[in-house]
Homo-oligomer: A and B are copies of this chain.
Amino acid sequence: MGRPADEAKREAVLTAAAKSFFEHGYAGSSIEQIAADAGVSKVTVYNRFGDKRSLFAAAVERECEQMRESMKVPEIPSGDLRDRLTAIAEAMVAFLSRPKMIQFERRVAAETEHEPAVGAAFLAAGPHRMMRAFAALLAAMHDNGEIQVENPELAAEQFASMCKGIGDLERRFGAPDDLKRNRERIEGAVEVFCRAYAKR
């Protein structure tokens, strides 16, 4: 009976909440502003999410879902080993460099100490998922006989870490993107990885 809840409004609130929380931080966001941005009454926000903390948690969870979807396992292009590694590296770096991702990381990290579950959810949905997929890919390459890796998880971490270098750190602290340096990092990572692990 009665009027059913408008799910579109729920989405609108979450979108506005995510935008505000990840732009202005938790303490710097107000529910009234979020409600206004969502074109919704403040009471509706409270009726549906109950609490500021709960709203924050819901926003993070939704963002993690979107991240899960947008993170395709890098498909294996055919061709030279070096070319394939380069393609994967470029996809990874591009994914991690998006300004949205950087801000999302900043905010989630800042709130993790108050809400450890939030940090754990992010790790599981993002980095850990990505590393597992990449490690599986390396294991397959090992079975193919292209490379020789005893510890695919470690090798995956090493490759990804070299590709990022301190670029992600610099981005987090506002340094402008240096595309030339990124290219150097990727080429260097491929080179070192091949020297260490390529067969032949």
Could you list which residues of chain A lie within 8 angstroms of chain B, going by C-beta atoms?
24-28, 103, 106-110, 112-113, 116, 119-120, 122-123, 127, 131, 151, 154-155, 157-158, 160-162, 164-166, 169-170, 172-175, 184-185, 188-189, 191-193, 195-197
Contact = CB atoms under 8 A, between A and B. Distances in A.
Nearest to A173: B119
13 contacts: A26-B28, A106-B110, A109-B172, A109-B173, A112-B173, A116-B174, A119-B174, A120-B173, A120-B174, A120-B175, A192-B192, A192-B196, A195-B196
A72 B196 CA distance: 31
A166 B160 contact: yes
Nearest to A189: B158
Nearest to A122: B173
Contact of A188 (B110, B131, B151): B151
Contacts of A106: 109-110, 112-113
A48 B112 CA distance: 33
A67 B168 CA distance: 20
Central interface residue in A27, A106, A119, by most chain B CB within 10 Å: A106
